Amino acid sequence: MNKIFMFDALREATDEEMDRNASVLVIGEDVGHYGGSYKVTKGLHAKYGDLRVLDTPIAENSFTGMAIGAAITGLRPIVEGMNMSFLLLAFNQISNNAGMLRYTSGGNFTIPIVIRGPGGVGKQLGAEHSQRLEAYFQAIPGLKIVACSTPYNAKGLLKSAIRDNNPVVFFEHVLLYNLQEEIPSEEYLLPLDQAEIVRHGSEITILTYSRMRHHVIQAVEILSNEGYDPEVVDLISLKPLDMNTIAKSIMKTHLVLIVEECMKTAGIGAELIAQINELVFDELDAPPIRLSSQDIPTPYNGNLEQNTVIHPHQIVDAVKNIVKVS
């Protein structure tokens, strides 16, 4: 077991897959000589050279389109968005090309591309660098969407994403790069379409993902000390949602709380509630509840920024209220 940071886990996954398969390459701004804005590609340029670690101009639509074209020819590009918000400039390429070409070509093309990078609310990064874009991309047919939350799952999921023959949008939270964890020294891969049961419980199901997993864990420590028994499920896969695992948990607890950093309106939680109501409505003892970020651009002011996202004490209060009402 090696204790490493999450950015190192992502770098190891990339390095191992580039070493394993010569068709894997990295494309993005400052990914080469500089080693990536969060050091996920540090040292890879010196090892693999210009043709496999490509520094690009500031032109997200151009280099994302180039990567999709490279994927069509049989390469396996990894596109790093220096900040995922910048990839809104490549939304056309991601939706009309990456998501659709396998279908519109009648299956003649596959698009084995990974689009990855940091997102989420950071520490006073400003509105344009603090966006939560998972719901934007969830609406695009043809994409897989993954949100890592620990060094362990970051490495295993990224390796699986690189080997997948479908376009994968891979979300990393900007505040989790320095999270440390012991991970196996031997190779491992994790499934892209399965949720993780972080804690087994019998009283209420808490669905969460990315950074909010850690806020939920803090809240659960308080709740368990007070006699509550929540089950915690990290979604991992945001598209497709692992409704099998989610439904089984709800059929056991009969109560649901969703904790997300995504916006409340048309967010991941909204889609979860829709599918829960379709699949296991009769199992619910109370309506599903969402704790979501406020529907505003993230303020630069530190105190206001903190007030836009969910914190452990709010999760504790919500669980107590739901259990009491039921």
Tokens 């991309």 belong to residue: 137
Q: How far apart are the C-alpha atoms of 65 and 98, rounded to whole Å?
A: 9
Give the catalytic positions in this structure: 60, 129
Residue 197 bridge partners (DSSP): 233
From first CA to last CA, the distance across the chain in angstroms is: 43
Query: Quick one: which of 192, 247, 235, 231 has its CA closest to 211?
Result: 235
List, as one string, the DSSP characters of 99-110. TTHHHHTTTS--
Beta strands in 93-148 (DSSP E): 114-119, 144-147
Kindly list the distances between the CA atom of residue 16 and the CA atoms of 10, 40, 168, 170, in Å, as whole numbers in the listed order: 10, 13, 18, 17
